[in-house]
Chains A and B, each alone.
Chain A
Amino acid sequence: MPVKERLFWIVAIVLMGAAIHLAFVLFLPNYAMGRKFEVMRELAGGDNQFKVLSRDQAARYLVESDEDLVHGVCSIDLQGAPVRINAPVPAHYWSMNIYSERGDSIYTVNDLQVKADRFAVEIRRGEDQPAGAGETASTGGDENLARVTSQQRFALLVVRARAPTRQARRDVAKAIAASECKKRR
């Protein structure tokens, strides 16, 4: 093969490889997150339903999850109306994370930051904001109610609560099962 033709193929492979590299890095995580939403929706029985995961479900669907944590999830659909999350805050470590459709954490809070035994978050879709304006969060004057704005229709809530013993695991699971994730009418 002449040198010129060989050079052509090498450059073509590098350019095509770079395109595949970018496609892989940019699109595969979105696909994986889409699958995660489907699974969580299925486990909870639909959107805007809070579900405490069993230990096996957490191990299987929240890969490499911490064995000492009890997990609760809710697939949030913001179409039409905001969603209000209302959660009891147990005595041990507790955190609430809201993930965007891209898998980025758009809101996080833990028990040390909450000064009450219940905490609420209202999440709404910021359709009026320009695209790419990003997500915003505020407490709006009430320190036990956070207001979060998301640019996307779906979000995923994950509550993690620590259960240091097996007995505590049952109690913590029961406590966080009282969490609500409902559309506001």
Chain B
Amino acid sequence: MKNLLKFIFFLVASAAFGIYSAQFLYSNANSLLARTSGVWSSWTPAGASAVDPYTRAHFLTRGKLPLSRFEAIEFEATRSQDGEPFEQECAYRLEGKMPLVRWWSLGAYSGSGQPVEAALPDAAVTSEDVVYEADGSIKIVVSRTPAAGNWLRPPAEDGYRLILRLYNPASVVGSNGYAGALLSVARGACR
């Protein structure tokens, strides 16, 4: 009986260790394999003809098909600058200049990967419909309640993700991916 219990503990502990360590490496935005720029992280080797198994797992286990990095670079943010995960009750202010690429889009997605209320027109902001400041920078408010200026509606759940895609980024991407600054993400008032 004692040996059986030891064996069961061995199986459970091994499975927990193996699965947790794998998920930590391929799904964590702060994984050693992800490249970060402020709160934004990207998986640079994505979309190549032969990628490492962790990058492959990062995309495919979520049901995503990665774009080649020469086609688009995808950045993901799950937390604001204070390190806290996004909350639906809070407003967030995104500010900064975007790199010079052919076009870009910013969307809010639920934890399950589905875009926010797909029928609503405010679930994404793109380089063509955003209003720029005089110096070329942009300010976007992410909040459940409508806001003046550029506004993005997040999902009605905590822990959502913001995904920023830069299309045809050849002019800004190096062999190690994009190394410049992206939008800052500051937490504003919470309801």
CB within 8 Å of B: which residues of A? 9, 12-14, 16-21, 23-26, 28-29, 32-33, 36, 55-56, 59-68, 93, 95, 97, 99, 102-106, 108, 110, 112, 134-135, 156, 158, 162, 164
Known: A28-B57, A99-B65, A104-B49. A9 touches B22 (CB 8 A): no
Question: B19 to A24, Cβ gap below 8 A?
Answer: yes
Interface membership of B105, Cβ < 8 A: yes
Task: Please give me the residue from chain A that is nearest to B74 by CB atom.
Answer: A64
Chain A residue at minimal CB-CB distance from B46? A105
- Is B174 on the interface with A (CB-CB < 8 A)? no
What's the least CB distance linking A149 to chain B, in Å?
12
Enumerate chain B residues within 8 angstroms of A36, measured Cβ to Cβ.
60, 63, 65
Evaluate contact between B18 and A97: CB separation under 8 angstroms.
Answer: no
Additional A-B contact list (7), CB under 8 Å, known A97-B47, A110-B71: A12-B10, A17-B16, A32-B61, A66-B107, A67-B105, A99-B65, A102-B56
Interface residues of B in 35-69 (CB under 8 A from A): 47-51, 53-54, 56-57, 59-68
When each residue 122-155 of chain B gets 1 if its CB lies under 8 Å from chain A and 0 otherwise, what string results?
0110101100000000000000000000000000
Please tell me if the beta carbons of B10 and A93 are within 8 angstroms of each other in the complex. Answer: no
Contact count A vs B, C-beta below 8 Å: 148
- In the complex, what's the smallest C-beta–C-beta distance from A83 to chain B, in angstroms? 19
Residues of A within 8 A of B75 (CB): none
In the complex the two chains form, what is the Cα distance from A103 to B113 in whole Å?
18
Contacts of B59 in A (CB 8 A): 29, 103
Inter-subunit contact B115/A14 (CB<8 Å):
no
Is the pair B50, A64 in contact by a Cβ cutoff of 8 Å?
Answer: no
Residues from chain A with Cβ under 8 Å of B105 in the complex: 66-68
Measured between C-beta atoms, what is the minimum distance from B108 to chain A in Å? 10
Give 8 closest A-B pairs by Cβ, nearest first.
Answer: A20-B18, A17-B17, A16-B14, A63-B63, A63-B113, A29-B60, A17-B18, A21-B18
Which residues of chain A have C-beta atoms less than 8 A from B60's C-beta? Answer: 28-29, 32-33, 36, 103
Query: Which B positions have Cβ atoms within 8 angstroms of A?
Result: 6, 10-11, 13-19, 21-23, 25-26, 47-51, 53-54, 56-57, 59-68, 70-71, 102-103, 105, 107, 109, 113-115, 118, 123-124, 126, 128-129, 161, 163, 165, 167-168
* Given A13-B13, A95-B71, A110-B71: A135 and B49 interface contact (C-beta under 8 Å): yes
Which of chain B's residues has its CB closest to A62's CB?
B65
Chain B interface, >50% SS class = mixed
Question: Once bound together, how far apart are the Cα atoms of A18 and B71, in whole Å?
Answer: 35
Min CB gap B37→A, angstroms: 19
Residues of chain A contacted by B21 (CB below 8 angstroms): 17, 21
Task: Give min CB distance, A183 to chain B, whole Å.
Answer: 23
